[in-house]
Amino acid sequence: MEKNIRIAIIGGGPAGLSAGMYLEQKGYENYVIFEKTDHVGGKCHSPTWNGKRYEMGAIMGVPSYYAVHDVELFAGVDHNGPRLHRTYRLPNGQPDHRFDKKLFNIPHLLKLKKQIKKFGEILETKYKGYDICGHRGVSEGRYEGFAVTPGREPVSGVNENLKDLAMPFKKFCELNKCPLVTEIWVQPFTSFGYGYFDEIPAAYVLKYLDFQTMMNFVNVNLWTWKDGTQSIYEALNAKLKHPALLNSNITKIVRGEKVTITVNGKEEVFDKLIITAPLQVGTINNPVAQGLDSYLDVTEKERELFSKIDYERYDTMAYITAKENYPEASFYVVDNMTPETLGHGMVFYMRWGNEPDQPLVSYVLRKHKDPSESLKQYKARPELEYEATKKTVLEDIAKLGIPPIKEEGKDKIIYEFQAYYFPHVFSEDYAAGWYEKVEAMQGQNNTYYAGEIMSFGDMDETVEYSRDLVERFFR
């Protein structure tokens, strides 16, 4: 491909900015990144309170975040943030000791430990290739991509067992006689907004929480950034030869021999288009997202496939509690990470240890789909309303002993964030080759698809997929 072609990238989150970075490193310098908001970073969103940043989106990384480390090296930043700690509580506010082997339930913990070890061995052998970035080939029993190693060498192979990854994670664990591992995997999965294990295909769970990533989480071997996860992408944007153009309102894209984009009322012409913004079509009930077909000349095939995408309704809320109420660390309420407790607070996060003058952030899901017995159809449960869920979370907070302080008779809530979160497809469409069909469209109409749906909704997977896309198509 000619290096001087003009490339448009839609979206200034981790996927879009890293696409610009990887293109630059390949010698493609004639690119433009369009971001519709007034800031970069997407769901890596770190507002400031009293001179310090806190997290409303992504919180942490682990040493196996090799793609994020690419960004660090390029942008000149380091994971120099506060060390994170966690505790567990019951919904009534009392300590939850179920994961403390020194105190309670030792037989259960020993059984859990045995199943975790077995699960790791199964993943590395029976499901070889399960952790490759992206999903192409999985439903056909093959893998192709870059290894999850420091060198990230290209690998490929055939493994019929990978087809099992289309089934919901709960069923996948039962199939492999390791049902207890869900007690551990649920903590960084469901609590961080990625849905429930009876509905989400195992492929998503294990692309995000491959075994080495999960063990880093268990052992609290985590990365954070002093100025927040958003600072990684602010630094990246500043180092790019062409930083993202903020407040870019794209109203129309027409594709043919060229790609014509109408942005802020002016037409611009490009040779290639990379979309990292939401691919879902139709009306999206979210304040920060719009359907792809509201501005793109969506083809019949794109509409057919992208209409199958769903997303989570996941909300974070930052508030201030009284100094005497600050907990010793962030804490997880594992009993609230079930479909039956939909709408209750699951994590209450504090970033700076021993510093009470900081926001606490609550995390809640308000959507779940129940699989039918055949796992071929999903019946929708009523989606919980935002304000009703907010009320429930405030009631949870009071029970936990960390209520917001009052200012002029109102709770001191300083920020509320509703993201377009974790786009995904369900088991039937995954097993039917949804990803293979989308990957087969890469390059058609001079268009390429990247971003969360093509890999997973954490920052490392989205960045790694941008690398994968550039390596495949922009040599």
Q: What are the boundaries of each domain within the chain?
A: 7-53+224-309+424-473, 109-218
- According to DSSP, residue 13 is labeled S
The answer to whether residues 194 and 42 touch, using CB atoms and an 8 Å cutoff, is no
DSSP 224-292: --TT-HHHHHHHHHHHSSS--BSS--EEEEEESSSEEEEETTEEEEESEEEE-S----S---STT---G
The confidence score (pLDDT) of residue 379 equals 55
CB atoms within 10 A of CB 34: 22
Packing angle of the helix pair 229-239, 66-75 (nearest 10 deg): 50
The confidence score (pLDDT) of residue 373 equals 46
Length of the chain counted residue by residue: 475
Give Cβ neighbours of residue 185 (< 8 Å, ≥ 6 apart): 169, 197, 205, 209, 214
**Are the folds of 7-53+224-309+424-473 and 109-218 the same?**
no
The confidence score (pLDDT) of residue 106 equals 83
| Residue that has been written with the tokens 């390949």 in this structure | 26
Helical segments of 308-419, H only: 386-399
The answer to whether residues 352 and 82 touch, using CB atoms and an 8 Å cutoff, is yes
Distances (CA, A) of 146 to 93, 115, 155, 163, 467: 44, 28, 6, 19, 10
Strand-pairing partners, residue 253, are 261, 296
Domain 109-218 in CATH 1.10.405.20? The answer is yes
Distances (CA, A) of 383 to 15, 296, 367, 368, 426: 29, 28, 5, 7, 17
The confidence score (pLDDT) of residue 375 equals 46
CB atoms within 10 A of CB 49: 15
Domain 7-53+224-309+424-473 in CATH 3.30.1360.200? The answer is no
The confidence score (pLDDT) of residue 292 equals 97
CB atoms within 10 A of CB 96: 18
The confidence score (pLDDT) of residue 199 equals 94
pLDDT in tens, the chain (475 residues): 799 999 999 999 999 999 999 999 999 999 999 999 999 999 999 999 988 999 999 999 999 999 999 999 999 999 999 999 899 999 999 999 888 767 656 888 889 999 999 999 999 999 999 999 999 999 999 999 999 989 999 999 999 999 999 999 999 999 999 999 999 999 999 999 999 999 999 999 999 999 999 999 999 999 999 999 999 999 999 999 999 999 999 999 999 999 999 999 999 999 999 999 999 999 898 888 999 999 999 999 999 999 999 999 999 999 999 999 998 889 999 999 999 999 999 999 999 887 888 999 999 999 998 765 444 454 556 789 999 999 999 999 999 999 999 988 889 999 999 999 999 999 999 999 999 999 999 999 999 999 999 999 999 999 999 999 999 999 8
From 196, 129, 198, 203, select the one nearest 165 (Cα to Cα): 203
The confidence score (pLDDT) of residue 328 equals 86
